[in-house]
Structure 1
Amino acid sequence: MTFGGLPTRWEPPSESRGVALVAPGRAYSPAAPLLEFARRALLQHGFTVQQLWWDTTTRGDEESESWVRRHVEEAHAAEAADHVLVVAKSLGTFAASYAAERGLDAIWLTPLLTEPTVAEAIGANAGRQLLVGGLRDELWVPSIARELGENGCDVLEVPDADHSMGTDDAVRTAEIHVDVARAVEAFLASL
């Protein structure tokens, strides 16, 4: 499968242990650094990776949550895997309610914790979850992240990171991305 000539699906070198559905942000494609590093870690840990590519301008009047859920549900329906993992960035974290209803393991990169439906769904999910966010991100709510961490979620909170998990400093941004990649790798190793 391709999107605009780019591949959207990757198979691990050995037998797959499950499928990871990768849901991007509004303006953050699956090829952007955080999701690209996640793709590499997923393959390293034996997951098939199915990226969702979307054009948010086609959403029309449809509510963000139902629009994202519809895309994730369609991708999930196309899979026959026993173990499905959701990896989502920003807008893609509206898939949290879908993941919670099915108890799917998930990695939430800069989840929209200011959206009650996202925060509540993460809290209600019986699956293993990793949350990654920065204190300079206005969509990250430290008290909610802390509560979710106390209730079983793994949490990486970076004091100087914004919504892109970066800063104005290129080197520091690269360091943050390495920290995120390590957290994703450790999470996958623990599944």
Structure 2
Amino acid sequence: MTFGGLPTRWEPTGPSRGLALVAPGRAYPPSAPLLDFARLALLQHGFTVQQIWWDSTTRGDEDPEAWVRRHVEAALVEEDADHVLLVGKSLGTRAASYAAERGLDAIWLTPLLVEPEVSEAIAANAGRQLLVGGRGDDLWDAAIAHELAENGCAVLEVPDADHGMATPGDAVRTAEIHLEVARAVEAHLSQV
């Protein structure tokens, strides 16, 4: 499968442990660094990876959560995996209610914690979850992240990171942050 000539699905070298579905951000495609590093870690840990590629400008007036759920459900309709893990970035974290209903393991990169439907769905999910965000992100709520950590979620909070998990104007620090995120994802997958 391809999207614009880019592959959208990868198989691990050995037997698959399950399916990891990657839901991108509004303007952050699956090929962007955080999601691509997650793809590499997922493959390393034996997951089949299926990316969702979307054009969020086609959403129109549709409720964002319903729009994301529709894409997730469509991507999973033909899948027959015993273990499904969701990876969402920003807009893709609106799949949290879908994950909670099914108790799916998840990795939420810059989740929209200021949106009650997202933070409440994460809190309601019985699956193992990793949340990654930065204090420089207006859509990250440190108090909610702390609460979720107390209730079992793994949390990586980076003091100087924005919504892209970057420090504007500092390429080296941004690369260091991305390395921190990659390490957190790898460590989380070791426990899933």
TM-score category (smaller protein)? over 0.9
* Worse overlay, 1-10 or 73-82: 73-82
- Mark the runs of 5 or more structure 1 residues left unpaired by the alignment: none
C-alpha deviation, 1:78, in angstroms: 1.9
- 1:103-122 correspondence to structure 2 within 5 Å: 103-122=103-122
Partner of 1:67: 67
Partner of 1:44: 44
The reply on whether 1:177 has 2:142 as its aligned counterpart is no
Q: Distance in 1 between matches of 2:57 and 2:191?
A: 37
Q: Distance in 2 between matches of 1:65 and 1:2?
A: 25
C-alpha deviation, 1:60, in angstroms: 1.6
Secondary structure of the structure 2 residue equivalent to 1:48 = strand
C-alpha deviation, 1:86, in angstroms: 0.1
Q: Distance in 2 between matches of 1:106 and 1:78?
A: 20
Q: Distance in 1 between matches of 2:136 and 2:167?
A: 9
Secondary structure of the structure 2 residue equivalent to 1:27 = coil
Q: Deviations over 1:140-159 (max 9, x none)?
A: 00000000000000000000
* Worse overlay, 154-163 or 69-78: 69-78
TM-score in terms of structure 2 length? 0.99
Q: Deviations over 1:146-178 (max 9, x none)?
A: 000000000000000000000020000000000
Q: Deviations over 1:71-94 (max 9, x none)?
A: 011112221000000000000000
Q: Distance in 2 between matches of 1:75 and 1:128?
A: 21
Give structure 1 regions of 4+ aligned residues with deviation exceeding 3 angstroms. Answer: none
- Mark the runs of 5 or more structure 2 residues left unpaired by the alignment: none
Q: Distance in 2 between matches of 1:14 and 1:36?
A: 20
Partner of 1:165: 165
Count, aligned residues: 191
Partner of 1:77: 77
Pairwise CA RMSD:
0.5
Supply the AA of the counterpart residue of 1:177.
H
Partner of 1:13: 13
C-alpha deviation, 1:54, in angstroms: 0.0
Sequence identity percentage: 77
Partner of 2:94: 94
C-alpha deviation, 1:117, in angstroms: 0.2
The reply on whether 1:134 has 2:134 as its aligned counterpart is yes
Q: Deviations over 1:17-68 (max 9, x none)?
A: 0000000000000000000000000000000000000001111211100000
TM-score in terms of structure 1 length? 0.99
Q: Distance in 2 between matches of 1:8 and 1:17?
A: 18
